[in-house]
Structure 1
Amino acid sequence: MNDRTLPEAVLWDMDGTLVSTEPYWMAAEIALAARHGASWSEEQALELVGKDLVAGAAIYQARTGIGGAPEDVAAELQAAVMERAAVSGAPWRPGVLELLARLRDAHVPCAVVTMSWTSFAHAVAGAAPPGTFATVVAGDEVTHGKPHPEPYLTAAERLGVDVTRCVAFEDSLPGVASAMASGARTIAVPLAVDVPAQPGLSRVGSVEDVDLDTLARVVAGEDLDALSHVGTG
């Protein structure tokens, strides 16, 4: 469509959306619990996907009995994830780099909006081609983490754009809630957890299924649900 109106910006969650690092977080949580003689299952780990790191760490501690400040536990978990990513890489989800390149060519700014902290967020963002991301909003830079809208509102403010004219990509329930509450048009790309259908939410199986025309349709108000026919809603 030659007359398309593209989003003013595209706002990207990181873990599970840009990069497939959720298994690293789960492994770190299970390993830390084991070192303290506690148990932690993958099912329990899935409950923390998308949550603010400190809030998630507090839940984790309450269920495992691990002591200390939640901030310290969150920092220890992130350090383990970063070490794993340094060794094994942080694999980009299919279609992500290609869509980021199209947005860069179209002069649509992109932001990372993540609950991971600054050190990891900038490491991932910095692995993309230069000029890909105009700003990074990390979990330790906001007062209220996801599902609160502050992270997405902060990204839009930094970019100088109207959040309601932005498209956000998310993979988790807390992330979708945060993006939608901010007013951003939201596309869910589920990975570790199911994201049920709801009014105002678009869903796709892969970023490979999204092009600039898709983004123009979503920011214009269309709800596109490519997952309803496969029974994920």
Structure 2
Amino acid sequence: MTSTVPALKTLAQTPGTPRATKTPQIPAAALQAVLLDMDGTLVDSEGFWWEVETEVFAGLGHALDLSWREVVVGGPMDRSAGFLIEATGADIGIPELTLLLNEGFEERIARGVPLMPGAARLLAELVAQDIPTALVSASHRRVIDRVLDSLGAHHFALTIAGDEVARTKPHPDPYLAAAAGLGADPARCAVVEDTATGVAAAEAAGCQVVAVPSVAPIAPAAGRTVVPSLEHVDLAFLRGLMPGTVRPPAPGTGPHQP
């Protein structure tokens, strides 16, 4: 993927600390970068993951309880796999299960994955306005590169995968790495996430967070705005999240309630 898109940077290309990029002089209160989650935020793929998990465990002779979906959604692969193994008592190790899950998911998205409502418009606007943008996912690199075929790698200056950082979500490491890689102050980064796990990671990194819940509800909180879909998010709205700015209404809504 990266060989065909020279402008795209990944942590796989720069082991350890991501490369910093030069950014123009901008006002202190300005939005410096937008950091976007992938599954359930930009692409409608959370259901694919659950289908794969259900099928894999059925093959192992175990049925998954639907209530477990909220536990594993948005989490790192090792944590999700470990939870399901413990919950079912399946006779399989985490590395083997991780391989089966990744392979099953890749088969699901081989013909493309649908974008979430509003995702294409938002990505196009960020590119048109030259806003530094990163894709930050708990999914592994092999999965991200497949999904980028549908998302468009040209939309991102940097992509970070869950298997490229020492600690992935809910730890702040992925978002701190993304901010550093774009030369941005985390406090001047807007993050868009769909799960509590991702929100926790972004907030721990000190970013301004927009939650677009996919599987489980997320409550509003200080420094966090909850909207029903990406159709309620545009560049003006993201800029208004920055401390010291006047927050505009979300697109398609009345006056915004912080």
TM-score of the two chains, using structure 2 as the length reference: 0.81
Match of 1:53 in 2: 77
Q: Does 1:20 align with 2:44?
A: yes
Q: Does 1:199 align with 2:219?
A: no
Match of 1:113 in 2: 136
Q: Post-superposition shift, 1:40?
A: 0.2
Counterpart code for 2:76: D
Q: Does 1:71 align with 2:101?
A: no
Counterpart code for 1:139: G
Q: Post-superposition shift, 1:163?
A: 1.2
Structure 1 residue ranges without an equivalent (≥5): none
Quote the RMSD (CA, aligned, Å): 2.1
Whole-Å separation in 2 of the counterparts to 1:44 and 1:15: 17
Q: 1:85 aligns with which of 109, 112, 119?
A: 109
Match of 1:159 in 2: 182
More helix by share: 1
Q: Post-superposition shift, 1:127?
A: 2.8
Whole-Å separation in 1 of the counterparts to 2:70 and 2:247: 26
Q: How many residues align?
A: 223
Q: Are the counterparts in 1 of residues 237 and 247 from structure 2 also a CA contact under 8 Å?
A: no
Q: Post-superposition shift, 1:24?
A: 0.6
Match of 2:22 in 1: none
Match of 1:139 in 2: 162
Encode CA deviations 1:71-99: one digit per residue, 9 max, x unaligned: 32122112111111114x31110111111
Q: Are the counterparts in 1 of residues 81 and 97 from structure 2 also a CA contact under 8 Å?
A: yes
Q: Are the counterparts in 1 of residues 195 and 213 from structure 2 also a CA contact under 8 Å?
A: yes
Q: 1:98 aligns with which of 89, 104, 121?
A: 121
Whole-Å separation in 2 of the counterparts to 1:31 and 1:199: 39
Whole-Å separation in 1 of the counterparts to 2:230 and 2:213: 10
Match of 1:217 in 2: 240
Match of 1:42 in 2: 66
Against the structure 1 CA distance between its residues 146 and 130, is the aligned structure 2 distance closer, same or farther, given a 3 Å change threshold? Answer: closer
Q: Post-superposition shift, 1:225?
A: 9.5
Whole-Å separation in 2 of the counterparts to 1:37 and 1:224: 52
Q: Post-superposition shift, 1:130?
A: 5.1
Q: Post-superposition shift, 1:145?
A: 1.4
Q: Post-superposition shift, 1:128?
A: 3.0
Q: Post-superposition shift, 1:126?
A: 3.8
Against the structure 1 CA distance between its residues 43 and 126, is the aligned structure 2 distance closer, same or farther, given a 3 Å change threshold? Answer: same
Q: Are the counterparts in 2 of residues 12 and 110 from structure 1 also a CA contact under 8 Å?
A: yes
Q: Does 1:179 align with 2:202?
A: yes
SS in 2 for 1:175: helix
Encode CA deviations 1:23-44: one digit per residue, 9 max, x unaligned: 1111111111111111102221
Q: Give the share of equivalent positions with the same residue, in percent.
A: 35
Against the structure 1 CA distance between its residues 14 and 120, is the aligned structure 2 distance closer, same or farther, given a 3 Å change threshold? Answer: same
Against the structure 1 CA distance between its residues 84 and 126, is the aligned structure 2 distance closer, same or farther, given a 3 Å change threshold? Answer: closer
Match of 2:12 in 1: none
Counterpart code for 2:35: L
TM-score of the two chains, using structure 1 as the length reference: 0.89
Whole-Å separation in 2 of the counterparts to 1:130 and 1:195: 29
Structure 2 residue ranges without an equivalent (≥5): 1-26
Q: Are the counterparts in 2 of residues 26 and 42 from structure 1 also a CA contact under 8 Å?
A: no
Match of 1:9 in 2: 33
Encode CA deviations 1:55-83: one digit per residue, 9 max, x unaligned: 11111100112233313212211211111
